[in-house]
Amino acid sequence: MTGKPKISPSSEQIRAAGVKVTRQRVRVLDALLAARQPLCHGELESQLGGAEAGSRRVIDRVTLYRVLDSLVACGLAMRAVDPRGVFRFSATGAPRQHAGHVHFRCTDCGGVFCLKAEPPPPPALPRGFRLAQVEFDVRGTCAQCGAR
């Protein structure tokens, strides 16, 4: 028995994104896909058993950062700062899926909702400035949280 390579839904996404399919990338993307809200580094680390005392580390802290960076770079994950200044990561499902519309972020539950509105056009920039990304963030409370 050599142990069949596990086929998880994330494996295919990673392969399709054109990067190596590794244990750690699969693990992390699996966690992001299963999560109901964007996860910060610490949450991912403890969920993956990164800091267990006694048992072996499953993933290195730095590797987790680099895996997250790579997932963001190839479009499989999104990164955003939360109001406390920490990065939170979420799976984007199919790459570029969320490029053409505005998102609403619930400040209560942390949920992200897709709106139908198109992102506004970028403004004119001073000389020498180079535009990399525009983000139109709409925040408030979602219907479910507002009902409580």
Write out the residues near DNA by the rule CB under 7 A: 15, 19-25, 40-42, 57, 59-63, 65-67, 69-70, 85-87
Q: Three-state SS across 19-35?
A: CCCCHHHHHHHHHHHHC
Strand partners, 48: none
When CB distances are held under 5 to 8 angstroms depending on the partner's kind, the choice from a second copy, Zn ion, Mn ion, none that residue 111 binds is Zn ion
To Mn ion, the closest distance from the beta carbon of 2 in angstroms equals 40
Tokens 């992001």 sit on residue: 32
Contact between 108 and Zn ion (CB under 5 A)?
yes
What is the Cα–Cα distance from 115 to 92, expressed in whole angstroms? Answer: 15
Measure the CA angle with vertex 130, ends 126 and 136; round to 5°: 90
Quick one: 9 or 140, whose CB is closer to a second copy?
140
DSSP structure class, residue 1:
-
Q: Which two tokens stand for residue 66?
A: 């680099």
Considering CB distances under 5 to 8 angstroms, the limit depending on partner class, which of Zn ion, DNA, a second copy, none binds residue 104? Answer: a second copy
Q: How many residues make contact with Zn ion (CB under 5 A)? A: 6
66 binds, among a second copy, Mn ion, DNA, none (CB under 5 to 8 A by kind): DNA
**Interface positions with Mn ion (CB under 5 A):** 85, 98, 114
